[in-house]
A and B are shown apart, each in its own frame.
Chain A
């Protein structure tokens, strides 16, 4: 760097608390569009040269990744990168691509795409599940190669130490694969409060700013960056004055924050003695120790689809069983709730179907597993087998009414019988449902009669009740967690559970945000599940409030007409009732810029 570049400040949405100064590591979303164009005969040679250059660049990257991986995980684990390297060196593969350029007179990117897709197709024909899954390696190499043309990842060499991940968007699979120990913070162009990036960042306890719109393009790997979630911004190339200010501030923070002060666990009581159970949501193993660290009463929600994201394809029954056993072990006597694969066409690289026009309303979650019965059967067998070693429950995602539930329960019972007949070790498990779509709320009394428990997925409930995509920045102002319609839906669902005498766990972001937690308690919730790192602050909040006042505010909110009215009321009442817990800055801001902020 010859001349210090100018400081750039970019506004976004701070979705996970904290301030970190570090270096940028650009991460590719891995889904770049590839276009085809024809080239003149004279340009063909140039395209071949570009191909060779991209291959060289990609090899360099893999090599450095491999070396880092060897250092960190040992030689055995780095061998997978050796496979990637060999693919890039494979004369047959590169020769095929080159021939395609020459014969079709097209740009090199397109040739890579065509030959890569052919290869993936051949691979998809392989009979063996495990080998077929490994197409992920080929896809990885192809993506890297394509990245080599645009230069997007050519500098991706600083995997060695800690880094701040900068990306346009982080797909769940990319986030799951992130070495979270080395990620100091996340900064992405898209996403909102409840995007997967945000949820994971909070789970792991690293700062994140999302919705930066046009930041990825400007940042280069190795640039100095400050991620300041408390001020909803990131600063690229900070000036020495800015750096100094921040260094002082983070040093002060480090003293206050640190590890959780003293260990508290088990349920927490409100000032009027109501016991509230606090559970952990987990999805990746790096979060598992949070259950113990933050004193959670087991796992309230295990998002099993992350198992697939990490592996880039379906996972065998035996492997799933091992994974669920690990979750049961972490959860201990309080048990863990395993949510069946909550995914759809948008998660599954055309493996199962054509892309859907509207995946959020498409063949996903319970609909997907019921339509791919073998997938579901293998999963429930794995869960029931793992339940022999620890306490596990099943929760069905996105049910619309009793018919979904009945079909799923029949399948679970059949598989229990199959396991019994086969003489396998297993345990029968209770079955609950996620209440997250409006029809399930309206039919909650009927559903409650045939299930063992409810689990309220508040993120999806907000999204589906208000018909607002939670990942879409353009409609972020319409994503209002405190909308009276949302609160009424929660109220109805909790009451239905109460009438049927079944437990109801509230999960989703509402359960982890102090201001929302008060309202949930006011609506009668006594069982919450959240990202582990949120547990201490929720515990603190609950210990300082009484359910009587919470109920009063909640009832008032239910009568409000708009989300603004609810938020105004919350701001007014909370500061009045619990001034020691809430001040203006910890409550939803008058402008609907964010949906909530923690204490």
Chain B
């Protein structure tokens, strides 16, 4: 099992669209992926969008990520990249 602590970047936090990206990525691996809020101690199955959304992770939230399985390294790398890219969210889209 691999474990790492990552921080949510991106102004809007881990909202529906970002969560969707995360779930798509994690679901492409066989490994089990879990997320746990460092503060508040809520755990989520990173392959269930519902579960991820309920983390209510906002910008700056620290998440403890664990991958466990045959492709745990690749999974962790992909997740790290996604976190680093702020889930591919643009700064602000047209807000009206």
The answer to whether A119 and B90 touch (CB under 8 A), given A79-B20, A322-B96, is: no
Q: Smallest CB-CB separation from A86: which chain B residue?
A: B49
Quick check: is A319 within 8 A (CB to CB) of the other chain?
yes
Quick check: is A285 within 8 A (CB to CB) of the other chain?
yes
**In angstroms, how far is the closest chain B Cβ from the Cβ of A125?**
9
Quick check: is B86 within 8 A (CB to CB) of the other chain?
no
The contact string, 1 if C-beta is below 8 Å from chain A, for chain B 10-41, is 00111111011101100000000000000000
Quick check: is B54 within 8 A (CB to CB) of the other chain?
yes
CA distance A127 to B95 in the complex (A): 21
The answer to whether B58 and A131 have CB atoms under 8 Å apart is yes
Quick check: is A32 within 8 A (CB to CB) of the other chain?
no
The answer to whether B45 and A323 have CB atoms under 8 Å apart is no
CA distance A322 to B96 in the complex (A): 8
The answer to whether B20 and A92 have CB atoms under 8 Å apart is no
Quick check: is A249 within 8 A (CB to CB) of the other chain?
no
The contact string, 1 if C-beta is below 8 Å from chain B, for chain A 76-111, is 100110110111001111000000000000000000
CA distance A322 to B92 in the complex (A): 11
Q: Smallest CB-CB separation from B11: which chain A residue?
A: A130
Quick check: is A274 within 8 A (CB to CB) of the other chain?
no
Quick check: is A122 within 8 A (CB to CB) of the other chain?
yes
Which residues in chain B, 56-96, are within 8 Å of chain A measured between CB atoms?
56, 58, 88, 90, 92, 94-96
Quick check: is A128 within 8 A (CB to CB) of the other chain?
yes
**In angstroms, how far is the closest chain A Cβ from the Cβ of B46?**
12
The answer to whether A130 and B56 have CB atoms under 8 Å apart is no
- How many A-B contacts are there with CB distance less than 8 Å? 73
**In angstroms, how far is the closest chain B Cβ from the Cβ of A129?**
10
The answer to whether B21 and A79 have CB atoms under 8 Å apart is yes
CA distance A87 to B50 in the complex (A): 6
Q: Smallest CB-CB separation from B89: which chain A residue?
A: A76
Q: For A392, what are the chain B residues with a Cβ–Cβ distance below 8 Å? A: none
Q: For A415, what are the chain B residues with a Cβ–Cβ distance below 8 Å? A: none
For B96, give its contact among A80, A127, A326 (CB under 8 Å): A326
**In angstroms, how far is the closest chain A Cβ from the Cβ of B58?**
5
Quick check: is A307 within 8 A (CB to CB) of the other chain?
yes
CA distance A138 to B48 in the complex (A): 14
For A82, give its contact among B24, B56, B90 (CB under 8 Å): B24
CA distance A86 to B23 in the complex (A): 8
**In angstroms, how far is the closest chain B Cβ from the Cβ of A218?**
36
Quick check: is B51 within 8 A (CB to CB) of the other chain?
yes
Quick check: is A8 within 8 A (CB to CB) of the other chain?
no
Quick check: is A137 within 8 A (CB to CB) of the other chain?
yes
For A92, give its contact among B13, B19, B50, B58 (CB under 8 Å): B50
Q: For A315, what are the chain B residues with a Cβ–Cβ distance below 8 Å? A: 95
The answer to whether A130 and B12 touch (CB under 8 A), given A319-B95, A326-B96, is: yes
Which residues in chain A, 127-156, are within 8 Å of chain B measured between CB atoms?
127-128, 130-131, 134, 137-138
Q: For A126, what are the chain B residues with a Cβ–Cβ distance below 8 Å? A: 56
**Top 7 A-B pairs, shortest CB-CB distance:** A83-B20, A83-B16, A323-B96, A86-B49, A82-B20, A126-B56, A128-B58
15 A-B pairs, CB-CB below 8 angstroms? A83-B19, A90-B49, A92-B51, A122-B54, A128-B13, A130-B15, A130-B58, A131-B12, A131-B13, A131-B14, A131-B53, A137-B16, A322-B96, A323-B95, A323-B96
New A-B pairs, 10, CB < 8 Å, besides A80-B20, A130-B58: A85-B20, A86-B23, A90-B50, A126-B56, A127-B56, A131-B12, A131-B58, A134-B15, A137-B16, A323-B96
